């Protein structure tokens, strides 16, 4: 009997490890349709080229993809998915060259969620610096400087659409969302000063969160173990057990963000509609 129990325990451990490796590989895959691919297979067709630049909320192998929805909605256009999981604004600078060489007609920029999470507390900042091989711990001050420098670099693009950042967790007056509000206030101010179009991603998501059919019981926890448990738990349920992101969210009493960070189908559809309205041909 003891041997049987041991065999079961070992089998379960092996299965869990295999599942973890499987979803880790999925998470590590780059998005499809990046600038480097476009440059190597460049066509001469007269198509609009739209570069969607950001982090995992754009990458969307953790969560639903609003970029893929845009590709279906505008099949005559080319959409570059330049979202990379975990990126802060500093990392966008490091991989900007092929995007600019692609000469996009429109840039949709949604970056800052990881900067906000990294600067929320010291442990988060140290973790981001270590895991992302950053030269410095991200801060709100460094974000302000680097975002302005990034906008200077993409000044040649005809149309730059600057997105406000989605919530982190779904409690509006939480400390982390008060922190995110600082970033969004700066994004709005920057867009106004530079005459850029602002896309109200944050505002649209909060409007939908007001329709929530149940109360939110869990605030955002920035500690690494619960954070990874939420992310990997959601990813495993989606890719292994084939559950929709929104179903996973509701099992955790979340409305839009299945792990308090990433977009479910409902949230991605909201972002899609916001971007769609901004890029639709008049």
d(CA 199, CA 217): 29
How much is the pLDDT for 14? 64
Kindly report the CATH number that applies to the domain delimited by 30-213+262-279.
3.40.50.1110
d(CA 50, CA 79): 5
Written as six digits, the tokens of 6 are: 């041991």
Written as six digits, the tokens of 125 are: 């900042």
Where on the phi/psi map is residue 110: left (φ > 0), alpha (ψ -120 to 50), or beta?
beta
Residues of the chain below pLDDT 50: 282
How much is the pLDDT for 19? 67
Q: Tell me the CA distances in angstroms from 158 to 66, 72, 96, 97, 209, one per residue in order.
A: 22, 23, 16, 17, 33
What are the two backbone dihedrals, phi and then psi, of residue 162, each rounded to the nearest 5 degrees?
A: -100, 120
What are the two backbone dihedrals, phi and then psi, of residue 3, each rounded to the nearest 5 degrees?
A: -65, -40
Q: Tell me: the pLDDT tens digits for 61-107? A: 999 999 999 999 999 999 999 999 999 999 999 999 999 999 999 99
At 263, is the secondary structure helix, strand, or coil?
strand
d(CA 151, CA 235): 33
Written as six digits, the tokens of 173 are: 């007056």
As a residue count, the chain comes to 282
How much is the pLDDT for 27? 87
């Amino acid at each position: 009997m003891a041997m049987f129990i041991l065999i079961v325990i070992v089998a379960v451990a092996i299965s869990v490890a295999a599942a973890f490796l499987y979803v880790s590989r999925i998470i590590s895959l780059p998005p499809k349709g990046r600038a480097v691919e476009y440059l190597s297979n460049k066509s001469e067709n007269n198509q609009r080229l739209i570069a969607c630049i950001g982090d995992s909320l754009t990458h969307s192998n953790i969560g639903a993809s609003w970029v893929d929805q845009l590709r279906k909605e505008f099949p005559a256009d080319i959409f570059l998915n330049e979202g990379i999981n975990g990126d802060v604004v500093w990392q966008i600078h490091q991989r900007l060259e092929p995007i600019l060489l692609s000469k996009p007609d429109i840039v949709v920029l949604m970056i800052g969620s990881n900067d906000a999470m990294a600067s929320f507390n010291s442990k988060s900042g140290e973790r981001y610096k270590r895991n992302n091989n950053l030269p410095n711990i991200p801060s709100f001050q460094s974000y302000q400087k680097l975002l302005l420098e990034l906008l200077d670099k993409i000044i040649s693009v005809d149309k730059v659409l600057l997105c406000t950042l989605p919530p982190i967790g779904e409690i509006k007056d939480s400390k982390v969302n008060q922190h995110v509000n600082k970033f969004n206030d700066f994004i709005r101010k920057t867009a106004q000063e530079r005459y850029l179009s602002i896309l109200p991603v944050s505002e649209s998501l909060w409007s939908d969160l007001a329709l929530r059919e149940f109360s939110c019981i869990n605030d955002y926890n920035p500690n690494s173990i619960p954070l990874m448990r939420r992310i990997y738990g959601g990813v495993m349920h989606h890719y292994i057990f084939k559950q929709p992101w929104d179903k996973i969210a509701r099992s955790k009493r979340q409305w839009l963000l299945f792990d308090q960070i990433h977009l479910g189908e409902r949230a991605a559809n909201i972002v899609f509609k916001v971007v769609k309205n901004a890029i639709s041909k008049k």
